[in-house]
């Protein structure tokens, strides 16, 4: 059963596959509760969904297992262009909106699964329900959660998207990977806004939050510390040895939709957004649409304020 699903997931275009129980370890439950008590800024919605994050089986009544799927998104052209760009866009956002791509592939897997086991329940989640993806990914053997709070695979690094297929099938869980961060603190020292402590993040200081989620402007003093980022931030991933060394050897993503779009390249090259027509071309089917036109214009202005690394 599990081997059939694994083979089918690779046929659908996923690079990573693993299975996990939907009962979270007690330490993870405590960590989620502690995160909810910390600074959340404009992410107060986290508290509204905390109980479901701690008990993901409630999202699909009768669910017993999580099939965790990953797709590598690193693109060589984007990688080479980042160092010379006027402003920077997180690698996950240079191509097509990953939600659409993963949903299409994941739904194919869910349909085939239910055709084979008609009584099985299934629900695909791609940021569409409060599932603790990174915790389930770790429990499914797809890596460890590093000091930068990202899921890191020993061969693939951390540049991969996750989808979770909740199912009533009772699938044997995979073995979690050991934590290989050891004494390394490159990500902690590299963060431009001091958002990281070992295995902890203050989301209200994270550049990804500041450029996408922030509406309250809690930390205007960080405007000049955005290090050239106009949408998202990859600094803590860029310095990670598992991205610089092992992950880099994986080369390009095999998913054409994740490669650098010409409109995004132009934005990064010029650092300007001239009007609504350019915005529509840029944002159609793109994660950048989440920021909105006016917000992205302001992000571009702030990205040019401070020094780039």
pLDDT in tens, 9-51: 999 999 999 999 999 999 999 999 999 999 999 999 999 999 9
pLDDT tens, residue by residue, 112-130: 999 999 999 999 999 999 9
Residue 218 in any domain: the answer is yes
Structure-token pair, residue 159: 């540049």
Q: What is the pLDDT of residue 248?
A: 66
Residues annotated as catalytic are 127
Q: Answer whether residue 97 shows pLDDT above 90.
A: yes
Neighbouring C-alpha atoms within 13 Å toward the C-beta of 297:
8
The verdict on 144 and 15 lying in the same domain is yes
Give the residue among 255, 300, 261, 268 at the shortest CA–CA distance from 284.
Answer: 261
The verdict on 244 and 209 lying in the same domain is yes
Give the residue among 241, 283, 90 at the shortest CA–CA distance from 157.
Answer: 241
Residue 89 in any domain: the answer is no
The verdict on 163 and 28 lying in the same domain is yes
Residue 177 in any domain: the answer is no
Q: Would you say 233 and 207 are in contact if contact means Cβ atoms under 8 Å apart?
A: yes
Residue 101 in any domain: the answer is yes
Residue 83 in any domain: the answer is no
Structurally, the chain folds into a number of domains equal to 2
For 123, phi then psi, to 5°, come to -145, 125
113-117, 208-212, 225-229, 243-247: least confident range? 243-247
The verdict on 276 and 150 lying in the same domain is no
Residue 309's pLDDT band, with cuts at 50, 70 and 90, is low
By CB neighbour count within 10 A (0-12 exposed, 13-18 middle, 19+ buried), where does 65 fall? buried
Residue 279 in any domain: the answer is yes
Residue 84 in any domain: the answer is no
Q: Would you say 7 and 109 are in contact if contact means Cβ atoms under 8 Å apart?
A: no
The verdict on 163 and 201 lying in the same domain is no
For residue 293, give its domain range: 186-303
| pLDDT (average), residues 67-71 | 98
């Amino acid at each position: 059963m599990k081997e059939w699903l694994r083979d089918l997931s690779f046929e659908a275009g996923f690079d990573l596959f693993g299975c996990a129980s939907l009962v979270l370890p007690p330490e993870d439950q405590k960590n989620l509760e502690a995160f909810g008590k910390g600074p959340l800024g404009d992410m107060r919605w986290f508290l509204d969904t905390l109980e479901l994050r701690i008990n993901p089986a409630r999202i699909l009544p009768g669910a017993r297992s999580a099939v965790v799927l990953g797709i590598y998104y690193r693109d060589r052209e984007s990688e080479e262009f980042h160092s010379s760009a006027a402003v920077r866009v997180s690698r996950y956002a240079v191509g097509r909106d990953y939600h659409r791509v993963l949903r299409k592939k994941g739904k194919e897997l869910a349909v085939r699964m239910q055709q084979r086991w008609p009584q099985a329940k299934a629900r695909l989640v791609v940021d569409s329900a409060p599932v603790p993806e990174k915790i389930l990914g770790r429990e499914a053997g797809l890596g460890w959660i590093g000091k930068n709070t990202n899921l890191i695979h020993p061969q693939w690094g951390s540049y991969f998207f996750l989808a979770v297929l909740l199912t009533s099938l009772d699938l044997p869980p995979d073995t979690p990977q050991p934590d290989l961060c050891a004494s390394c603190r490159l990500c902690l020292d590299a963060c431009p806004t001091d958002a990281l402590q070992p295995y902890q993040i203050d989301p209200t200081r994270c550049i990804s939050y500041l450029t996408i989620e922030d509406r309250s402007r809690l930390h205007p003093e960080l405007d000049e510390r955005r290090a050239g980022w106009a949408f998202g931030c990859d600094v803590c991933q860029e310095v990670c040895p598992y991205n610089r060394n092992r992950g880099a050897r994986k080369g390009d993503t095999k998913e054409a939709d994740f490669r650098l779009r010409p409109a995004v390249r132009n934005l990064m090259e010029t650092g300007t957004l001239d009007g609504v027509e350019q915005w529509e071309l840029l944002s159609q089917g793109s994660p950048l649409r989440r920021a909105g036109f006016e917000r992205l214009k302001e992000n571009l202005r702030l990205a040019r304020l401070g020094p780039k690394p």
